[in-house]
Structures are given as structure tokens and as C-alpha cells.
Structure 1
Amino acid sequence: MTAFASMLAAVFVSMLAAVFVSLLMASRAVAQPPAVSVYPLPGSISSLPQTQITFRGIPASQIGSVQVAGSSTGAHGGTIQADSDGQGGSFMPSQPFAPGETVTVTTGLNVVGGSGGAWKFAVAVPFGTINPMKLPMVPAGSGGVQHFHSRPDLQPASVTVNKRSGAAYNGDIFLTPQYGPVQNGPMLLDPAGNLIWFQPVPPNQLATDFRVQQLGGQPVLTWWQGYTNNGSGRGDGVIYNTAYQQIATVQAANGLQGLDLHEFLLTPQGDAWVVGVSPVHYGGMTRPLMDAVVQEIDINTGLVLFEWHALDHVPITESYFKTNAKGFVFDPYHLNSIAIDTDGNVIVSMRNTWALYKINVQTGAVMWTLGSNRSSFKLGAGAGTAFQHDAVVQPDGSITMFDDGGGPPTIRAGRAVQVAVNQANNTVSLIRQYQHTPALDTNFEGNAQVLPGGDVFVGWGQQPYFTEFNSAGKMVFDGRFTSNTSSYRAYRMAWSGQPTGSPNVAAAPNNDATSEVWASWNGATSVASWQVLAGQSPGSLVPLMTVPKRGFETAMAASTGSPYLAAQALDSGGHVLATSSASAVPPHIGIAGRSAFVSSTGVGGLPAVCINSRNCHIAVTITVGRTVIARTGREQVPAQGAGLIYFSLTATGRSMLAHAGGRRLIVHMTGQDVSRLTFSRYITLVPFSTGGAVPARTAAQSGGLRLVGLTDFVSSGGVGGILAECLDTTPCHVRASVSVGSTVVVSTGSELLGARGLGYLIFTLNSAGRSLLAHARGNQLGAAVTLSDGGATAHGQVALVRFR
């Protein structure tokens, strides 16, 4: 072989060797199974007997054979259930494990933290059930509870807005009153502090962490609901859609007694991060140690995707809650928030260690500790916290939280803080802090939410306040519960909801010949106004009036004698959103108007209505204090109609009126019909004086309009009223014209009189009319009145009389 041939042969052999090595490495890479995270974590000691065994990182179909054996209970059969994302599944044992035993799991998988596909975990010894405590309810005080005629079943805590700047974020406000005064539950307010929606929870339960989150790409309302004791909760996570329908419930798994109240966080993947509290026996303690548990739960299946126990990873020596502290339980951790970091791992806050912990979601290892007596970081001035809550990672990597202790011992007031974490040099520095003015002492709870635009919304936990700060730290919004109830957290967010049901309405007669209508629609955010409907039966309702929406419940005085009233919710374009059922107005009597005019001889007239199936016979008593100044006999007023009841003041009454300040005497008036219908109201007596002959006065009608009074009183400014009645079963839209000879002195636009309603048509004399009345002999000006409503008309000759 030549030298050249030998060289070629050597090169060829070398290439073959390289190819062989490459193929061998590739085959090994292909053969290497994917890493699978398992829960309970290998080596953990705190799982409960009912735990499932979770595999994450491969489809459930690839989990393969799973052998499970307890050191006391022996082999365990079970089934594998798949997670909804296709990235894992859980082995569901057919029977629980025994408290205190060690469980060995053997698989053919590449288990993170395992050995040859096998690993062990120990089962804790549960202490037992922590019974619910009776919730204390704060006194309502003056105005501490809201009441609604249309929803008497709702009695939420009242809210007072102390400060509202135009610079504040225009989002709605989400609260959960937790100490009544009457009812607890999720509570939604508009930007001005008016109630939008309230959902009372059963007695002795409470709700926490009420906010808007996303599920399946759609906005949903979420909150925790359940019982509480010793600072922890036993309940469920609740999810409602925009129609206020419950679409999901998230429950604790793996033997926990329920979800804890402190966190209910949804992910875009359709999972829920939750907190649990596991009371277990520990060492020689005679009371339960409250282990803090973090779970990620698949909302669709209820399976556990991740589980972490503080007792496995955080020494109890880090706690400021010492073993000799008083109390029924030993609570070294008190985990109160979960946040997903920018790298996908999670950060939890523990009140009783004064620290945050970053947890590796693959291994469960603590990556760093911020705070406590074993902090991974040097804390800059003002960066330390005590008993903190609600640690949230911001997009820039900084962390906001609510500091209950305010960094004791130097600062006692609660505050919200934002800190920067520098892992390169292991330091944490304070970016900014937010404190209420005046300062608030907060012993527990609280949160800080960064709003779109950079403002920060702070819930003050134990204290009844919720406040928005701008980026300069100035308060631009400040509200509070009127009573001393409080909310675990407070949020400000955009929300749009449309209930599936109908609006609620209530109606009742007033004493002034009108009927009061109250309309509300719990949760509806698009209602701009209410349209009142009236009719002789529930099936014959017609529109009567439209009033802008005012707060949760809008009150409307309807000038109608119709026995049935309803309300329609209208949007900003005037479109009907929904209609309430009809509310019956009971039979009643009343007096229209706010004033009664009295002649110099003490005679006056009262416009009375009788909303009854038969004629009314009404007697009226007028008093000032305890002094009776007028009594009438029983005057007949037609059924479903109106009439005048005349009275005559006693000498004492005339004297009181003559000497009344401003020539106005406020009197109390009571009336009673033979059928025992009654009214009671205050009215103002106004004196007038006339002389000479009374002008001719007549009235005629055609159709559904009637002139009731033939003397119309006019102020010195020319403002007066024509007393008229709409006899029709539909509302009257009345135009009035008043003439003196050939001179028109009044011409009004359309004014509303409700069906079967009595009321004053307000007018203003023109300059010619004011001049004619000012020069009228004896202060009486004869005038012709014409009322029209389509085809219906009423004519009359009346006397215009001026009063001062």
C-alpha cells in the first residue's frame, strides 16, 4: 500500500468512528426519557392519607405501570386519570394511605428527584377537623346597612366615598364585607361607590378575594367562599360568568378539609392556584400544627397538577409565631398569597415568617427567601416587611405587597410597598411606598393592586378603607365601609355584566296622590334609565315616564292612579333591555300638591284622590303641633277619581297663618276614609286675598281630561298651576292654553299626567298676563282655559288669583 493509500484508509476509519460516535450519542439522546415531575414530592413527609399521585410532563397514556405500596397498608390499586391539558395525569389510589406510613412508588419513568423511576414519601398524621367559628358581626351604627324596596332580601354594608378625583381610574370596585353588619358576600360598586351587584352568602360564611379573572379567554367573576377559624378558611373557589351564573366550583384535593380563604388565582391555561391548611400532629405538640399547602388544580377535572407543603421545606424556626405562643393551634407559616413569577416558578408570602419564598415548580425546592431570619437578600432601607400579604410580581420583575406591620419596629402604620429584587448582588430595595392619610394601623389582611396607567389601589384589610394612589403617592380616591366591617382584599377593575333574569320593582302609594316606584336590577351594568309602565291590569301596561338611573335602586314618583306599575330597563340608546313583572298598588287616598291656598276668611280647598273600587268619604284634620286648626266632615270623592275637599280654619288657625314667618304655615294633615284608608302628610298653607265679584267659572270636558279646580293661584313671578285630572286608562300628554279675552297669556308644551292621575299643570304667565293680573280688580282675573290631549279636550272659565 502506498503512503497516500494508507492516509486515505486512516481518514476513512476516522470518519467511520466519528459517524459511529454521533449515531451512538443520537440514539442515547432519543432513548433518554423525558423528565417527569411527581407530587407528592420525593422525600416529602407531609402528604395526607387521601393524596393522589400526580405525574406532570408526559401524556397520561405514557405513564405506564405504576406500583404503589404503603409500609403499613401494602399494595394499592388504582386508576390513572388524565389532566385536561394532555401533559400529565394522576394515579388515584383505590383506598387511602395510613397516617404515618411511608409510601413507595415504582415506575418506569424518569422521575425528577427519584431513583430509577422510584421514590418515597411519608404520610402525615392529621389532627382532625377544625370546626367553623361563629363570625362576629359589627354594629350597623347610623346608616351602616343599605336597604332596598325592590330587593328587601339584600342588606349589604353601606359605603361612604370620602374623596374622588377625576384623575382616579374609572374601574369598578370589588369588595367582600366580612363582618356584616347584616350580610357578607361579594360586593361590586361602580366608580362612584354605588352598589352594582351583591351576592349574600349563607349565615356564618364569608367571601374573600372577589375580582375579575379570565377563564377560557372570557372575563369571569371569582371569589372564595366558606367558613373560617383561627385565621384560615375551609371553603371552595367560585366562578361566575358575565350573566352571574355559576359555571365552575374549585374544591380542595388530596384530603384537605377545604380551600383556604387567602388565594384563588386562575391561569390562562385553565388552572387554579389555591392555598390549603393542613392541621397535623407534629413532634410532641398537643395542638395541631397548621401546615401551609399550595396546590395547582385543573379546573376541568379537579385533579392536582402541583402540590407543595411548607412543612417539607421551611423550618419552623423561621417563624415569628413561636411554639409557646398562646392559642388553639400552632401556625408557623400562615401562607396568604401565590404569584407566578416571570420564569414560571411561583412566589408565596407567609405572614408568620415575615417572608416571601420562591418555589421551583419542578422540584419544590426553595430558590430564595426574601425576609425572615434567613433572608437570601440584604434588605435596603424600608424594604423589610412584617406580617405582609398579597405579594404580586409585576411585569418588570418588581414585587408589590401589603405590609401590615409597616416594617416594625420603626413604623407602625400599614402601607403598600413596591420593591426591586436584584439577584445579581442579592439585594432588595424599596421603590416606593403608599400610606393612608391619616395613617391606619392594620393588624391583618390587605392588598395592593397596580392599575392600568400606574396608579395603585390599596385594600387596608382589617380597616374599613380602600384607597387609590397616583404614581406620586397622592390619594386620588378614598372610600370606606360606613360601619367598621372590612374586606380581606379590595380591587378596582373593568366589568360588564348582564343578568339573565328580570329587573325587580316595588310600588307603594304616596300621600300626595302619586305612587312611588322603585326599580333595580342586581348586576346590570348597561342600564342608563328606567321607564315606568302603568295600567289597569298587568297585561295592559303602557309607558308613563322615563327617569335616569340613580344608583342601585332608582326611586320614581309616578303621577297616576293606575293600580299596576312596572319598570323597563333602558340602555344609553333608549333600547329596552328587560321588563319587570307588574307590581300592584294597593287602594289608597291622598292629597295632591305641596301647598293649600287659604282665603282671608280662612277657607281653603284640598285636591283629594280616591284610588279605590268604590267611592271614598274622606274626613281631614289639620293640626299645628297639638293644636287642631281645622276639621272637615266626610266629603265624597269618586272611585278612581279626584275631587276638592274644603276646610275652614279656626280663629286660632287664622291667627297662626297671619303671623307665620314668610306668610307660610306648615301644618300636619291626616285623613281617613270610611273604609279605613288613611293618609298623613305635611303641607304648607299659603294665604291669599280677593275682593269684589268673582269672575264666572265653568268647566266642560270631552274625552279623558277634566279641569278640577276653577281657581288657579299664581305667584308674584307669574308661575301657577292648573289642577287637572287624566280620566283615561293611558297617560295624558296635556297642552294648556290660557286666554284673557283675545290675549293669550299662557301656552305650554306637553306635560304628563299619569293614567287616572291628578296633578298640577305648571305654567308661567307671559308679560301681558302678568300685567293683566297685577291690575285685575279684586286680585281676580277671569280667564279661559283649554286643555288638549290629542282628541280629548277640557274647557273652562277660571279665576286667576295672585299670592305672595
Structure 2
Amino acid sequence: QQRPDLHAPILTIDLIKPELVTPGYIFLAPYRNLDPAPYIYDNYGNLVWSGAGSGGPKTAHAPRVCTYKGTDHLCFFQGEQQKGFARGHGVIMDQTYRVVKTVESTGAGASSDMHEFKLTPFSNGTTALMTVYQPRRYDLTANPRFNIRNGLGWIVEGVFQEVDIETGALIFEWRSLDHVDPSAAWTLPGTTDTSGDGLTQQTPWDYFHLNSIDKNADGDYLLSARHVSAVYKVSGEDGHIIWQLGGNCPSFEQTNFAFSYQHHARWISENATHTLLSLFDNASNNYNWTGPESSGIILSINHIDLTATKIQSYAPPSPNLISSSQGSFQILPDNGGALIVWGEHAHFTEHTSTGEIVLSGKLADRLSDVMIYRSHKFPWVGRPLTSPALYAFSRDGEEEKARTTFWASWNGATEVVRWELWTADERGGPWGNYGSADREGRFETEFFIERFERWGFVVARDGGGRELGRSAVVKTFVPSAGLRQYCDERDCAAARGLEEGEEVVPYEAEDSTREGERTTDRGYDTAHYYDVAGFEVEEVEGRRRRRREEKWVVALGVVIGIGVVWGALAVWRVGGWRRVLARKGGAVDWSVWWRWNRYARLKQEDWWEGKGVL
């Protein structure tokens, strides 16, 4: 009611086992919807924060809580969405939802991509990892599998960088073409909707498709590359591949599983003999399959016998659900559970450590084409710098038995426990405390009063009663007599157009776009708005002309006044010279007058003293 500018998606939540759901907030960023942006919801599907327009006007991806300068911040990618990748930068917001830093890729290449923007955990949040999709000229005629002949081809090189957040300095860079030959690709030119055909600069072949990066305490990196269906451990010293999981020529035998076109590979733990990691197994790119359904999986790599084993699997919410693009798998730190996003389906689930689904959330149907690349769950405290919003409505106004409804909200505020309502008959008070209402986790809290209140404001308080903020004073909206028939005690029906066959009520309307009201550079000449106030445009233009004439008269008067003053001063000074010479008994030398203009800036007495007169 009080924030009609917000168009947050409606989140449908099914709390299957609420007692097992992990506390915290759900961070997601849908796109291809109205107002694509980072959003925060609670476990019941209530909106907590809409970030539409807060970090910029473009699409956002993968919002999450990050540690920057020792405190919790929000991190997400924001940029221009392309087919299968994006161009943009990383955004860091503080707890007031203000952008404190943007992070760009460095060097002479493309800007950073949507697939990864992550502050490194072992640098205390001083560096960031980001992907770059860099098109390059490439000889694709050498391999007959690529089906390209008679000319130079184009390829997308998968690049990642680690950069210093404060200085922008490059810490580390890795390029796929230096280490992985295009012959390793599982996705050939022109074979999928995002592969590219490799024939032009605008359609380069994306042979690698780097979609996640992680870094461990030793300084090495974990990469996931979708179009080669492989996960790599890369040396943080020289970039060489230490081992490869999946894809062509893997380093390990996969004992009980297969995966393909995966996303979001993350380290869980490591030691000298074993590596534990998680990933989202898409199992398909909608053209090829390695399994009947997508899933989240936890894998154990044995570096002694060179085997990899699946030790836990998290099934989709419906059997045989395939997510052929996108998706994420986050291990929740408190209880070992997991939050899984089912990519293109705009659907997410929370699981226990054994794989049981305890929460299911849905943002949109698949046919809507609304998607979520990644989602996360974290605890979060939001303290916005904005003020609470308030709207008040009364259908009957000052009539007997009139009622008033107030709606209060505060976009992004997580500490508000209750709202306190103050009302008055006049804008300046005196104010009376009507009472309070618990927020109960809802984005919008409603007060329903059994009388008419003309003015009001609300105070937001936390659990200890501390005031967090207060709204502006608002006047209650009372509909006109003609509108009132379409209203109930809470609101009025939305306006509508005429239905077929409905009679049109004739009325005469003045054309507000008369000749001369439009200008070539600024749309309407705002002079015509004076018609609404009871003034004719011609009268307004006449007033403007008179004001211009008055300004010229004033300016001319100022110039004449200055001339008179200077003339009087000159006469006075000449008269002063005559009196001085008369006292000395001398005659007046009029040649002195001609020298006066030269020495006018000197004190008169000093000049005559220099001549020996005084």
C-alpha cells in the first residue's frame, strides 16, 4: 500500500517441516521479470528487502552475505545480461544498503561476468574472485570436429581474476586456452542455444564456460567449467592444473556416479589424502544427458587410490526434474543442511543433512521464462538509512462510524519488532498514541481504527523498545463522493476501462496539447500548467515580458546611478584642490585636472604632498 514503487516477485513457500528449517534469510535475484534485482525474503516468503534500482539499473545475480573490512556486507554481480553470460561488475553494500564499493576486472580485456563474484575468505575480504568471458580470434579449422572451414574463427576464452578490492591491482589471472585445449569440449560450435557457432565476432564459440571459482587456504583455486563437464584444481603459483575431476582425461576414477554440465563447485574440506567438495550436477544441457535428473551432490576424492565417490545426494522436489542451465548448491553451516536452486525453474529447496526436503519455494513457472542463477541463505541484519513508509485510508472520512486503516513498512529493516502509531486532527498535533502492533515478520503491518484519524505517523521499535526510526507525518486519503461507491473500508477498487457495450458518459475535455505547448527539446512547455491554476497562457507570457522589461529598467537605473556618483566625486575632488591652492595663495593649475585620472587611486593628500603643495 505505502510502497507502490516496489514490484517484488511473490514467493510461494511450502514449509514441509518448519521445525527443521534453518534460521536466516533467503537471498535471490530473479531476472527476465519486472524489476530484476537482488531481493531478501524470510522463511515464510515475506519480502524483507527489495533492491530494485539500489545498486544500479541492470540485472543482478547471486546476492549473498560477504565479509568486507571485518563486517557483514551484501555482495552481488550487476550488469548487462547477454546470451549465457553478462558484462558488469561486482557490488558491495553495507548494512544500510548503500553501495560502498564496486569491483571491476582489470587489464585490457572484457568486463567481469555474472558467474562468479566472491570475496576470498582467507584474505579477510581484501580480494575478490571474478569470471571474465573474453572473445578471441582462433584457428578452428585444425580440428575437423569443429566443422569450421576456410577462415579465421572466434572463440570465448574462460578467464578468472583475483583482484585487490581497494586498489584494483591484479593478484592472479588464469586463462583457459593456456591450459585446456578446445578439443576437450563437450559442447561443439553451433550445437546449443548458448554455444555460439564460432564464425563471427558476435557469435564466438564458448568452448569452456567457466561458471564458478573457489579458493582454499593454500592459495589454490577450484574451477567449474560447464562446457567441458569438468572441475579443476589450479595452482595458485603458476596456474597449472593439479588435478581434474570429470570431463575428458580425468585424474580420478568415478566409482559410483557421473555428472555433466555442472555448476557451483565448492570446497568443503581438504587434507593430505582426501578432498571433500560439493557441486550442482545439472546432468544435462537439454541436448545431452548423463542422468535422469539434476541434483546436489557431495563428493569425496581419495588422493591415494585416485578415486572419487559420491557420499551424499540431494534429489529435486519432483522426480526427473532436469535443470539444463544454471543452479546452485550451498551447504548451510549451522546444521549441515543445504539450499539448492533449480536453475531455470526459479524453484529452490532446503534440505537436511540427510537430503530430506524441509522447505520448498517457488518464484515463477517455467513457461514464464523467469530464472534464478544462484540463491543463498544467511543470517543478516539490515539497518536502512531510509525512513519507514506509511499510508492511511478512510472511506467515509469525517462521517459517523468512519474508520481508518494505516499500513506501515520499512524496506530492508530486519530489527523492527513492533510499530507504534501516533495520530492527530491537525498536522502539528497534539498527538495521541493510538497503540502498537507487532510486525510478526510481515513486510507490511496494518492498523485498523474504529474512528477517523486525519493525520498520523509511526515509530519502529526493536524487541527492547528502542526507537529505530519514524515515518513522515501523512494525511489520511479520503475518496471523493463519486469514488466512494467503489471502495470498501480498506481500499478502493482499481480503475478499469469500459467493457464492450458499456455506455460512454459524454463530457467535454480541454485539449492540453495546444499549438505552442510543445518544445523540441523538453517536451511540454510548462506554461500550460497555469491553466489548471486558473491563469491563461497568454497572461503568463505577458507577466514574463513585463518581468523582463522591469529587469532592464532596473539595470539601466543602476548604470545611471553609478555615473552620477562618479561625477559628483570628481567635482568634489576638483573643488578640494581649489581650496588647498587658495590657502597657499597660488593660482589654480588646470593641468592638474588632466593628471587626476592617472592618480585617482592614490590618496589625494599624498599626491599633493609629493608635489610640495602640502
Q: 1:343 to 1:682 in 2, by over 3 A?
A: closer
- Tell me the residue number matched to 1:570: 461
Gaps of 5+ in 1: 1-148, 590-671, 684-804
Could you report, residue by residue, the CA deviation over 1:607-638 in whole angstroms, capped at 9, with x for unpaired residues? xxxxxxxxxxxxxxxxxxxxxxxxxxxxxxxx
Q: How does 1:190-209 map to 2 (within 5 A)?
A: 190-201=42-53, 205-209=58-62
Could you report, residue by residue, the CA deviation over 1:334-380 in whole angstroms, capped at 9, with x for unpaired residues? 00000113532001000000001111111111111111111111111
For residue 219 of structure 2, give the secondary structure of its aligned residue in structure 1. coil
- Tell me the residue number matched to 1:435: 315
TM normalised by structure 1 equals 0.54
Give the distance between the partners of 1:164 and 1:192, measured in 2 at CA: 11
Could you report, residue by residue, the CA deviation over 1:715-755 in whole angstroms, capped at 9, with x for unpaired residues? xxxxxxxxxxxxxxxxxxxxxxxxxxxxxxxxxxxxxxxxx
Say whether residues 1:151 and 2:3 are aligned partners: yes
- Tell me the residue number matched to 2:175: 309
- Tell me the residue number matched to 1:131: none
- Tell me the residue number matched to 1:256: 109
Q: How does 1:611-760 map to 2 (within 5 A)?
A: 672=481, 678-679=484-485
For residue 488 of structure 1, give the secondary structure of its aligned residue in structure 2. strand
For residue 311 of structure 1, give the secondary structure of its aligned residue in structure 2. helix
- Tell me the residue number matched to 2:78: 225
Q: How does 1:597-616 map to 2 (within 5 A)?
A: none
- Of residues 344, 353, 356 in structure 2, which corresponds to 1:471? 353
Is the Cα contact below 8 Å between 1:204 and 1:227 reproduced in 2? Answer: no
Shift in Å at residue 542 of structure 1? 3.0
- Tell me the residue number matched to 1:449: 330
For residue 290 of structure 1, give the secondary structure of its aligned residue in structure 2. strand
- Tell me the residue number matched to 2:395: 510
Say whether residues 1:391 and 2:247 are aligned partners: no
- Tell me the residue number matched to 1:559: 450
Give the distance between the partners of 1:406 and 1:473, measured in 2 at CA: 21
For residue 183 of structure 2, give the secondary structure of its aligned residue in structure 1. helix
In structure 1, what residue type is equivalent to 2:391? A
Shift in Å at residue 389 of structure 1? 0.3
- Structure number having the greater strand percentage: 1
In structure 1, what residue type is equivalent to 2:6? L
Give the distance between the partners of 2:284 and 2:83, measured in 1 at CA: 23
Q: 1:560 to 1:353 in 2, by over 3 A?
A: same
Q: 1:346 to 1:681 in 2, by over 3 A?
A: closer
- Structure number having the greater helix percentage: 2
In structure 2, what residue type is equivalent to 1:183? D
Could you report, residue by residue, the CA deviation over 1:762-797 in whole angstroms, capped at 9, with x for unpaired residues? xxxxxxxxxxxxxxxxxxxxxxxxxxxxxxxxxxxx
Give the distance between the partners of 1:150 and 1:257, measured in 2 at CA: 42
- Tell me the residue number matched to 1:243: 96
Say whether residues 1:211 and 2:86 are aligned partners: no
In structure 1, what residue type is equivalent to 2:376? Y
Shift in Å at residue 229 of structure 1? 1.3
Q: 1:588 to 1:324 in 2, by over 3 A?
A: closer
- Tell me the residue number matched to 2:236: 361
Give the distance between the partners of 1:559 and 1:446, measured in 2 at CA: 50
Is the Cα contact below 8 Å between 2:323 and 2:343 reproduced in 1? Answer: yes
In structure 1, what residue type is equivalent to 2:63? F
Gaps of 5+ in 2: 141-150, 197-202, 490-614
For residue 227 of structure 2, give the secondary structure of its aligned residue in structure 1. helix
In structure 2, what residue type is equivalent to 1:543? N
Q: 1:483 to 1:563 in 2, by over 3 A?
A: farther
Shift in Å at residue 509 of structure 1? 1.5
In structure 1, what residue type is equivalent to 2:438? P
Could you report, residue by residue, the CA deviation over 1:639-684 in whole angstroms, capped at 9, with x for unpaired residues? xxxxxxxxxxxxxxxxxxxxxxxxxxxxxxxxx5xxx57345689x
In structure 2, what residue type is equivalent to 1:169? T
- Of residues 435, 443, 449 in structure 2, which corresponds to 1:545? 435
Q: 1:324 to 1:188 in 2, by over 3 A?
A: closer
Moved more, 349-358 or 485-494: 485-494
Is the Cα contact below 8 Å between 2:390 and 2:457 reproduced in 1? Answer: yes
Greater CA radius of gyration, 1 or 2? Answer: 1
Give the distance between the partners of 1:185 and 1:681, measured in 2 at CA: 33
For residue 349 of structure 2, give the secondary structure of its aligned residue in structure 1. strand
For residue 578 of structure 1, give the secondary structure of its aligned residue in structure 2. strand
Give the distance between the partners of 2:477 and 2:171, measured in 1 at CA: 60
Q: How does 1:49-198 map to 2 (within 5 A)?
A: 149-165=1-17, 166-180=19-33, 182-198=34-50
Could you report, residue by residue, the CA deviation over 1:476-524 in whole angstroms, capped at 9, with x for unpaired residues? 1111114542211111111111112211111222357212211111110
Give the distance between the partners of 1:333 and 1:448, measured in 2 at CA: 21
In structure 2, what residue type is equivalent to 1:506? Y
Q: 1:274 to 1:375 in 2, by over 3 A?
A: same
Q: 1:419 to 1:342 in 2, by over 3 A?
A: farther
For residue 317 of structure 1, give the secondary structure of its aligned residue in structure 2. helix
Q: 1:151 to 1:680 in 2, by over 3 A?
A: closer
- Of residues 325, 334, 337 in structure 1, which corresponds to 2:212? 337
Could you report, residue by residue, the CA deviation over 1:149-190 in whole angstroms, capped at 9, with x for unpaired residues? 21111101110012342111111111111121x111001011
Shift in Å at residue 220 of structure 1? 0.6
Could you report, residue by residue, the CA deviation over 1:430-484 in whole angstroms, capped at 9, with x for unpaired residues? 1111112313210111111111211111111111211111122110111111454
Q: 1:410 to 1:323 in 2, by over 3 A?
A: closer
Give the distance between the partners of 1:302 and 1:280, measured in 2 at CA: 24
- Tell me the residue number matched to 2:594: none
In structure 2, what residue type is equivalent to 1:487? I
Give the distance between the partners of 2:56 and 2:104, measured in 1 at CA: 20
- Tell me the residue number matched to 2:186: 320
Q: 1:553 to 1:587 in 2, by over 3 A?
A: closer
In structure 1, what residue type is equivalent to 2:456? L
- Tell me the residue number matched to 1:745: none
- Percent of residue pairs bearing the same amino acid type: 29
For residue 352 of structure 1, give the secondary structure of its aligned residue in structure 2. helix
Give the distance between the partners of 1:581 and 1:494, measured in 2 at CA: 30
- Tell me the residue number matched to 1:234: 87
Shift in Å at residue 586 of structure 1? 3.5
Is the Cα contact below 8 Å between 1:157 and 1:483 reproduced in 2? Answer: no
Is the Cα contact below 8 Å between 1:158 and 1:483 reproduced in 2? Answer: no
Could you report, residue by residue, the CA deviation over 1:234-253 in whole angstroms, capped at 9, with x for unpaired residues? 01100011111111100111
Q: 1:287 to 1:229 in 2, by over 3 A?
A: farther
Give the distance between the partners of 1:204 and 1:282, measured in 2 at CA: 35
- Tell me the residue number matched to 2:145: none
- Tell me the residue number matched to 2:164: 298
Give the distance between the partners of 2:488 and 2:412, measured in 1 at CA: 37
Output the aligned Cα RMSD. 2.1
Give the distance between the partners of 2:190 and 2:364, measured in 1 at CA: 38
Q: How does 1:742-781 map to 2 (within 5 A)?
A: none
Say whether residues 1:280 and 2:136 are aligned partners: yes
Q: 1:341 to 1:555 in 2, by over 3 A?
A: same
Q: 1:586 to 1:463 in 2, by over 3 A?
A: closer
In structure 2, what residue type is equivalent to 1:453? N
For residue 462 of structure 1, give the secondary structure of its aligned residue in structure 2. helix
Give the distance between the partners of 2:483 and 2:413, measured in 1 at CA: 37
- Tell me the residue number matched to 2:252: 377
